[in-house]
A and B are shown apart, each in its own frame.
Chain A
């Protein structure tokens, strides 16, 4: 009985209009302890890259370091903003601030230490990258391999020219 109801509900919900926006009303802290409501990125007039990472994730650091090298050029051209969501839990969270500063990253860093946002967006592994622009998800990718940041930026360039 229970199963039937749930499965029925699931299917029922499938028929609800497909959404444009992606981020629910969820508040997380940034590195300065300020509240950041993730839903604010549903409707921005510049592209926003939401990148999930952790201090212990090698490919994540490779990705954010690769973007760091070209971030200034990207910002000048497209006003793109990168929000790096750290999924470090209490064990490694304290490493985030010194690591970010040590690497000179200028991203907005958001702390998702009990994985509320990660769970909400059904993200299984980091790195995981989502690009939103004017309320639409224009790019989404799990994992990072060298060079995929260039592919992502090509998509951003093609959308802002339209």
Chain B
């Protein structure tokens, strides 16, 4: 029924838009269409093979076609997704066949400040710590909400948004059993009160989940609510911001072997505090982020809590570490569990911070040289919250003092220097040290220290030709031990590029696991179109985008990526 209604709304909308365009020919509509297709043909070799379960389909493909039409104050869009014959390895099994992914109609009148959407929509309140719906195709995330949203700007600088709907947890019309409602207020105080020399923004949000499981779990409330309060200010070269989020009590959900179990007798509330401040001027930037969070994870169905595919996530709780550029820097990536759990290990929450420093050695100085030298330094430390050893369930409180630190999860420190030496030469050099508590981050065993160095040199010649060489090394005192890596990229023209890369786990204690993860590939780019093809081995592990990760198994084979828009 819902499907039919949406389609009907959509078709009337499109017709209406078309009719309107006929009338006012000078106001032409805009049609944007995007196509993306990522395919893989998994071919086992003597070292790498995929599991028997995965091998039932060796050619897999994820494809997306999206069309949006903008006319006057109206906007209509649809995305069709195809996972055929099957989705790429380790995407959610709910993503299958060909169907509508998202469909919507929107009226956006900036003159009167009204913005209304029906259908699937993406939304973020504040930093997303209370609500973020977004799409990331690499991670297989599309947690758009299907329902309605209205935003109204009652004066310039003050906006209210209310929304409600069911979250997408599979293909476009596979929706969660719960109902999500939300409200958000953003006020730019400096704009309203004409503050000249200071910028001040404040915001507050509410997000509620209605999920009735009382037939099976009579102790569980139907409503679970979250509240957020935040403020950001900047004056001159200084800036600072803070956000506090509270979540009402909710059952602990433990997952083992892909099965999530709800414990209605263990209910805790949650909270998060995020603080950011910094200073920046031309040639210098300093930024500090601090976060404490306890049991703040929210999923549109309780039984989805902590699932490995990020299905049904309502809020965005990324690991706050730097997203590094080089391959070996991305083997041991910090991830964070947003909800408290007791099994197999007690994880009461997280506390810690990170900093960044950017500095430019001026042009024509000793270190700066002709073009300047750019230095960046970053570091992070993350621990578990301090916790009560004599934990008493009746107290409904896992952590001890609010700012107490517990077990160390992760820390890193990295220095990177970028320099252009001449018209032809430029280089990047990076060193990094890291502590990684594998037992707690991956629910595996052990802990390790690593040191990573990486150097990249680009040599330009001719009109638009270049060669890029990257060398990397990782020393680790545990797990798979040492890695070395080399990459060579050749760009013969603006349209073509070719590369060859090898990641070699030469230090592995198990001789049969000393595998070369090699890849050869090329890409053709013209205008908005890009076609990339590669053959080789994919290292098993985490693929992370924006602090959210997806696990992929080891595999080898042929990859084809096509994207275009018009």
Q: Footprint of B on A, CB under 8 Å?
A: 1-3, 5-6, 9-10, 12-14, 16-25, 27, 32-33, 37, 55-58, 61-62, 65, 69, 89-95, 97-104, 113-116, 119-125, 140-143, 145-148, 150-151
Q: Which of A1, A17, A143 is in CB contact (< 8 Å) with B523?
A: A143
Interface pair B32/A147, CB less than 8 Å apart: no
Q: 4 more A-B contacts (CB under 8 A) besides A62-B426, A89-B128?
A: A3-B98, A6-B10, A120-B68, A145-B464
Interface pair A99/B458, CB less than 8 Å apart: no
Interface pair A92/B563, CB less than 8 Å apart: no
Instruction: Give Cα A149–Cα B14 distance, bound, in whole angstroms.
Output: 39
Residues of A within 8 A of B527 (CB): 140-142
Output the residue of B279, B284, B528 with the most chain A CB within 10 A.
B528
Known contacts A13-B14, A58-B325, A101-B280; is-contact A20 B28 (Cβ 8 Å): yes
Interface pair B460/A146, CB less than 8 Å apart: yes
Instruction: Give Cα A143–Cα B127 distance, bound, in whole angstroms.
Output: 28
In B280-337, which residues have CB < 8 Å from any A CB? 280-287, 289, 316, 318-320, 322-325
Residues of A within 8 A of B32 (CB): 22, 24, 120-122
Residues of A within 8 A of B426 (CB): 62
Instruction: Give Cα A41–Cα B111 distance, bound, in whole angstroms.
Output: 18
Interface pair A142/B525, CB less than 8 Å apart: yes
Interface pair B285/A19, CB less than 8 Å apart: no
Residues of B within 8 A of A151 (CB): 464, 494
- Ordered by A's residue number, 5 sampled pairs between the chains whose C-beta atoms are within 8 Å are A6-B100, A9-B10, A17-B21, A90-B124, A101-B284
Residues of A within 8 A of B122 (CB): 114-116, 119
B324 and chain A: residue at smallest CB distance: A56
The 8 closest A-B pairs by CB, nearest first: A122-B34, A98-B285, A102-B358, A147-B464, A56-B323, A122-B565, A102-B285, A91-B318
Would you call B540 an interface residue if the criterion is a C-beta within 8 Å of the partner chain's C-beta atoms? no
Q: Which of A24, A33, A55, A124 is in CB contact (< 8 Å) with B188?
A: A33
Instruction: Give Cα A97–Cα B288 distance, bound, in whole angstroms.
Output: 12
Residues of B within 8 A of A114 (CB): 122-124, 128, 132, 134
Instruction: Give Cα A93–Cα B274 distance, bound, in whole angstroms.
Output: 14
Instruction: Give Cα A4–Cα B17 distance, bound, in whole angstroms.
Output: 20
Instruction: Give Cα A13–Cα B17 distance, bound, in whole angstroms.
Output: 10
Interface pair B465/A19, CB less than 8 Å apart: no
B251 to chain A, nearest CB (A): 27
Q: Which of B4, B110, B325 is in CB contact (< 8 Å) with A25?
A: B110
Residues of A within 8 A of B29 (CB): 16-17, 19
Q: Chain A interface: which of B69-77, B88-96, B262-270?
A: B69-77
A25 to chain B, nearest CB (A): 6
Instruction: Give Cα A5–Cα B7 distance, bound, in whole angstroms.
Output: 7
Output the residue of B21, B32, B35, B284 with the most chain A CB within 10 A.
B32
Residues of A within 8 A of B516 (CB): none
